[in-house]
């Protein structure tokens, strides 16, 4: 696939129609793969990447759970503001033309997406100049997903934030998701889930009306709670993003204070040392709070309800004990009566009446009652232990929260002391901004913790319902275990699990080899002996040195982590087998000069037959432009007009003329 042209009409910062020529040009017999876009922050570089992703991926460019309504709202937000001010119903268009060999034929395709307020998006496909009017929007999008699967698109069209996210991901989450999409494992997982649903359906069809009613009620309640859990998770993600942004601003503000503050007085250094210690203590206390939140704390959030449950269970235990005693007594009374009759012939009736009256009173209180919640003694003991542990956790959480509040108060006081230092008088405004950011951070942190607690409670309810449903379905499944359909489905699930395991292990081995090749190409000379080991379960990538010791990823510099991320993306791209253009937005932000040099010389020129780079003047500066000029097909500079808040394109680059003069 080669992109030919990209036409934007009233899209984001581009007012009116702008057509961009993307076809790589030749220098003699050699094609130059790189098309370079330069622009200052906010000029519109990201608009180019967004347009390409949107043209090919559609709604999936935003994620997997985007509704039609949210997608339409997003499209309306992408319409140029100047155009909507002039005409509220202004039409916006993205048109991407590209060549691609499909089913053995080389063709020219053109994708056009058009939308305006209060109307659905219109999507058309043109093949070799002829519009395919027989295809619906969904059919055109399905065809595009065949060409560029959404999971694969993320490996070829990405921005610096995605690089940073992958570079900082110590959990393997992003890599696991990418590999699963790449191998189709997500489809296998969905198929397994669908088969489970099918099995449940078989059992439910044969169930009696009362059981079906209970199952439906539990399913409805679980569906509602699952929706609430997802909404809370989205809220947590939003707050986490805000919190990260605030912390970044705090770090930038602190760096600005340091850069403008000059030499620090001795007392100020001491205060700063105390702050550093308090930050470490704050981290430790926060970690302990999170640990308590992840335990049995939710059991103590509703003490009255839990105590009522335990009281009820205690009464049930007494009822069960009384019934057991009564049962044993009834079995023993006939023998006792025979014994008394033999030994006390004349008084036996009175004696037995007295015995029956006495034991009758003992068992009468619970004899007619039935336990409401019939659970085992071990389950009852477990609930009591968890409730007690939850109460202890609640008390500890209160102590930790108080300690954290005291630490934060001390931090605030120390910040004020530092600000009041004589040599920092000229930094008063910066310190006020810093304190405001810290106050905002504390507010968001509290909201973040509250949402975590809410999510924990909801998730507990969801799991309880899932267990209840699992018991229903397991019972129904056992009733139909002899059915051929059930047997075949179970066999299919076993085969799918074995296939997923074997496929994952094979691909992980291939990915390790591709990653090592890519990493060694991009790493500095002293890192060339490194190899990689990928865990097939967690998908965490570990770098291994020549002696076989695992290198701590956290100890790597920001630049090293980014090289690590680029190597993963290149390896995943090659593993996919797709030959697609590579589009990268602001890729060099945190790299040192050596790593930039490696990336510019050995990654971008070889990443694909067509590489579209979207860069600032500080990323690809004059020196780096000179270094890759022989690989640059052509370049554009995006110029932002402050008066109109719109951008235009001109062919050329920041230092293009200087580079030509140097030659």
Can you give the three-state secondary structure of 143-162, one letter per residue?
HHHHHCCHHHHHHHEEEHHH
C-alpha separations of 233 from 8, 164, 168, 230, 453 in Å: 35, 22, 21, 5, 11
Q: What one-character DSSP code corresponds to residue 627?
A: H
Return d(Cα 328, Cα 322) in angstroms, integer.
10
Q: How many helices (H) and strands (E) does the chain have?
A: 20, 17
pLDDT of residue 133: 83
Per-residue buried b or exposed e for 463-475, using 16+ beta carbons within 10 Å of the residue's own CB: eebeeebeebbee
Beta-bridge mates of residue 612:
35, 583
* H-helix or E-strand spanning residue 250: helix 209-261
**What is the C-alpha separation between 13 and 46, in angstroms, rounded?**
10
Query: For residue 88, which phi and psi values (nearest 5 degrees)?
Result: -55, -25
To the nearest 10 degrees (0 to 180), the angle between helices 266-293 and 428-479 is 20
Cα–Cα–Cα angle for 622, 595, 657, nearest 5°?
10
Report helix, strand or coil for 103: coil
Strand partners, 36: 613, 635
CA 393 to CA 303: how far, in whole Å?
Answer: 13
Report helix, strand or coil for 20. strand
**SS3 assignment, position 21:** strand
Cα 127 from Cα 133, distance rounded (Å): 11
The Cα 490–Cα 308 span in angstroms is: 42
Dist. CA 341–CA 331, nearest whole Å: 17
Integer Cα distance of 397 and 294 in angstroms: 12
The answer to whether 109 touches 127, Cβ cutoff 8 Å, is yes
**Sign for the pseudo-dihedral over CA of 571, 572, 575, 578:** negative
Reference 404, options 496, 283, 260, 528; nearest CA is: 283
**Rounded to whole angstroms, how far apart are CA atoms 663 and 660?**
5
Those residues with Cβ within 8 angstroms of residue 3's Cβ, 6 or more apart along the chain or in another chain = 22, 23, 52, 96, 97, 98, 581, 610, 612
Q: What is the pTM of this model?
A: 0.53
Phi-psi region of 128 (alpha: psi -120 to 50; beta: other; left: phi over 0): left
Residue whose C-alpha is closest to residue 563's, from 534, 601, 524:
524
User: Is the Cα torsion angle 215, 220, 225, 229 positive or negative in sign?
Assistant: positive
Gap between the Cα atoms of 546 and 620, Å rounded? 34
Q: Which residues pair with 125 in a beta bridge?
A: 111
Tell me the average confidence (pLDDT) per consecutive run of 10 residues in the chain, 663 residues long: 93 92 82 87 86 90 76 89 89 94 83 89 92 85 81 74 65 62 64 64 56 72 82 81 81 70 47 76 82 72 74 76 74 79 78 77 64 73 77 81 83 66 59 84 88 85 78 60 58 74 80 81 66 73 75 70 77 77 75 71 80 83 80 89 88 63 34
Q: Give the CA radius of gyration of the chain.
A: 34
Cα 440 versus chain centre, distance: 24
Q: Which helix (H) or strand (E) holds 140?
A: helix 137-147
Query: Which H helix or E strand runs over 413?
Result: helix 377-420
What's the number of CA atoms in the CB half-sphere (13 Å) around residue 386?
Answer: 16
Burial of 358 (0-12, 13-18, 19+ CB in 10 A): exposed
Nearest to 402 by CA among 296, 285, 292, 298: 285
User: What pLDDT does 433 receive?
Assistant: 82
3-state secondary structure of 345: coil
Taking the C-alpha atoms of residue 524 and residue 518, their distance in angstroms, rounded to an integer, is 12
Bridge partner list, 27: 30
Report the DSSP pairing between strands 14-21 and 2-11. antiparallel
d(CA 96, CA 109): 8
pLDDT at res. 218: 74
Classify each residue of 326-345 as buried b or exposed e, where b means 16 or more C-beta atoms within 10 Å of its C-beta.
beebeeeeeeebeebeeeee
How far is it, in rounded angstroms, from Cα 387 to Cα 301? 10
């Amino acid at each position: 696939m080669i992109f030919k042209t990209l036409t934007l009409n009233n899209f984001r910062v581009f007012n009116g129609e702008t057509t961009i020529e993307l076809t790589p040009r030749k220098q003699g017999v050699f094609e130059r793969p790189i098309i370079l876009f330069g622009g200052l922050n906010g000029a519109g570089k990201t608009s180019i990447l967004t347009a390409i992703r949107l043209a090919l991926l559609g709604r999936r460019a935003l994620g997997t759970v985007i509704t039609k309504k949210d997608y339409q709202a997003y499209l309306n937000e992408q319409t140029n503001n100047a155009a909507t001010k002039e005409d509220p119903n202004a039409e916006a268009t993205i048109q991407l033309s590209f060549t691609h060999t499909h089913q053995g034929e080389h063709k020219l395709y053109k994708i056009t997406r058009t939308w305006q307020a209060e109307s659905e998006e219109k999507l058309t496909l043109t093949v070799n100049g002829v519009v395919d009017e027989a295809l619906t929007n969904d059919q055109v999008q399905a065809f595009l997903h065949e060409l560029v699967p959404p999971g694969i698109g993320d490996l070829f069209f990405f921005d610096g934030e995605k690089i940073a996210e992958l570079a900082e991901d110590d959990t393997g989450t992003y890599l696991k998701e990418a590999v699963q999409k790449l191998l189709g494992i997500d489809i296998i997982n969905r198929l397994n889930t669908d088969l489970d649903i099918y099995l449940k359906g078989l059992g439910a069809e044969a169930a009696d009306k009362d059981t079906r009613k209970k199952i439906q009620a539990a399913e409805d309640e679980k569906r509602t709670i699952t929706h609430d859990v997802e909404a809370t998770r989205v809220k947590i993600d939003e707050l986490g993003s805000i919190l990260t942004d605030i912390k970044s601003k705090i770090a930038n503000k602190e760096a600005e204070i340091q850069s403008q503050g000059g030499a620090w007085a001795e007392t100020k250094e001491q205060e700063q040392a105390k702050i550093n210690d308090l930050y470490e203590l704050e981290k430790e206390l926060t970690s302990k709070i999170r640990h308590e939140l992840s335990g049995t704390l939710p059991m103590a959030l509703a003490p009255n309800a839990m105590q009522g449950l335990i009281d009820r269970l205690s009464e049930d235990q007494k009822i069960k004990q009384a019934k057991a005693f009564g049962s044993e007594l009834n079995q023993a009374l006939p023998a006792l009566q025979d014994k008394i009759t033999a030994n006390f012939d004349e008084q036996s009736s009175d004696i037995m009446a007295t015995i029956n009256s006495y034991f009758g009173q003992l068992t009468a209180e619970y004899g007619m009652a039935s336990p409401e919640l019939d659970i085992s003694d071990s389950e009852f003991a477990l609930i009591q232990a968890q409730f007690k542990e939850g109460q202890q956790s609640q008390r500890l959480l209160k102590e930790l929260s108080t300690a954290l509040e005291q630490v934060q108060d001390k931090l605030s006081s120390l910040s004020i002391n530092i600000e009041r230092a004589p040599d920092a008088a000229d930094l008063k405004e910066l310190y006020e901004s810093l304190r405001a950011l810290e106050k905002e951070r504390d507010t968001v942190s509290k909201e973040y913790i509250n949402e975590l607690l809410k999510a924990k409670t909801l998730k507990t309810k969801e799991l309880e319902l899932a267990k209840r449903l699992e018991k229903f379905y397991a019972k129904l499944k056992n009733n139909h275990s002899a059915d051929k359909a059930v047997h075949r489905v179970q066999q299919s699930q076993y085969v799918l699990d074995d296939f997923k395991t074997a496929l994952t292990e094979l691909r992980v081995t291939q990915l390790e080899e591709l990653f090592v090749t890519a990493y060694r190409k991009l790493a500095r000379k002293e890192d060339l002996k490194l190899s990689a080991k990928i865990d097939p379960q967690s998908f965490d990538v570990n770098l291994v040195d020549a002696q076989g010791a695992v290198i701590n990823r956290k100890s790597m510099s920001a630049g090293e982590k980014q090289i690590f991320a680029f190597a993963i993306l290149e390896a995943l791209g090659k593993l996919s087998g797709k030959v697609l253009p590579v589009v990268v937005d602001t890729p060099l932000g945190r790299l040192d000069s050596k790593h930039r040099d490696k990336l510019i010389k050995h990654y971008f020129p070889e990443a694909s037959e067509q590489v579209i780079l979207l860069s600032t003047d500080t990323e690809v500066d004059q020196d780096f432009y000179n270094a890759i000029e022989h690989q640059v097909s052509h370049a554009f500079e995006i110029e932002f007009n402050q008066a109109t808040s719109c951008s235009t394109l001109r062919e050329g680059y920041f230092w293009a003329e200087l580079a030509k003069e140097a030659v």
